[in-house]
Amino acid sequence: MVYKSPSQRIFSIVNVTFLSLLSIACILPMVHILAVAFSGKAAANANLVNFWPIDFTVDAFRKTFQNRNFVSSMGISVFRTLLGTLIFLVLLMITSYPLSKEQRVFKGRSLYIWYFVITMLFSGGLIPSYILILKLGLNNTIWALVLPGAVDVFSLILMLNFFRNIPKELEEASHIDGASHFTTLFRVYLPLSLPAIATLALFTMVGHWNSWFDGMIYNTKSENYPLATLLQTIIVQQDFSKITMDPKALADISNRTVKAAQIFIGALPILLVYPFLQKYFVKGVILGAVKE
């Protein structure tokens, strides 16, 4: 058993207490949202619900899934997240692998890296980006949501630094056995890079799922909205014209319970994905921290 001084024990107690309170503070808002979603109309409208449902009912969830726009937007968000993450990972792998080589192995490496880095410092801005998407004919398509951010330079730098930490002897042994660069990448580097890949994939999935602004400016038709854009329009802007529910169907439930149900459903997919990637996450968050 490791001996701890009184000051270390006090620090541990304070640290655990603080982190516990912080965790509770993060969880309670979601518990409140869920309680409101399962509560009856009168209790929700009277603001009587705290952390436990009153007059328990699932009507808000049932009515939400009967909303064609909501279901369609959720499908668009799922497809966008999967497609955007796949494109991001493919481009990230095939770009960061050659850039992780030394200058003597890959001539012009520094030039290519500066080509990417300069995009982190300067950008065309919102209006030129919108005009570009418009001229390419990508507006009102899924490609307007996944292509502009397909290559994240910050993730690229982290990934190439992670590759540089992998022992060179493994690559040399692979080449001696006759493997090509693609075989070395997919058979040697990728299996060893699962923590980094899982972490960056999680960040990308969360970014795509929660992104609402690009869905609003690149889509002129509400039926093409991803879920985050639809929720922003309904909940923040209070624009209920995007809801296709029959007004008579909303007579027995509260708008507040419907909003709560939609918010919870919108957050649920990422909450379900995170546990599967959590074992890689702690190790992956320190990727690229050793070498420059």
Per-residue pLDDT of the chain (292 residues; tens, 9 = 90+): 566 778 888 888 888 899 899 988 888 888 888 888 888 888 878 888 888 888 888 888 888 888 888 888 888 999 999 999 999 999 998 888 888 888 777 888 888 888 888 888 887 788 888 898 889 888 888 999 999 888 888 888 888 888 888 888 888 888 888 888 888 888 888 888 888 888 888 889 888 988 888 888 898 887 888 888 888 887 765 555 555 455 555 556 777 888 888 888 888 888 887 777 666 665 555 554 444 4
Q: Which domains does the chain have, with CATH numbers?
A: 59-284 (1.10.3720.10)
Count of positions (residues) in the chain: 292
**270, burial (CB in 10 Å: exposed 0-12, middle 13-18, buried 19+):** middle
Asked whether the beta carbons of 96 and 153 are under 8 A apart, the reply is no
Q: What is the pLDDT of residue 86?
A: 93
CA–CA distances in Å: residue 90 to residues 80, 96, 251, 282 = 15, 10, 49, 23
Q: What is the pLDDT of residue 290?
A: 45
**CA separation for the pair 246, 63 (Å, rounded):** 10
Q: What is the pLDDT of residue 84?
A: 92
Residue carrying the six token digits 């854009």: 229
CA–CA distances in Å: residue 265 to residues 66, 262, 269 = 13, 5, 7
CA angle 248, 254, 258 (to 5 degrees): 95
211, 231, 212, 230: which is closest to 222 by C-alpha? 230
**CA separation for the pair 219, 226 (Å, rounded):** 10
Asked whether the beta carbons of 198 and 284 are under 8 A apart, the reply is yes
CA angle 252, 257, 260 (to 5 degrees): 160
**CA separation for the pair 163, 192 (Å, rounded):** 9
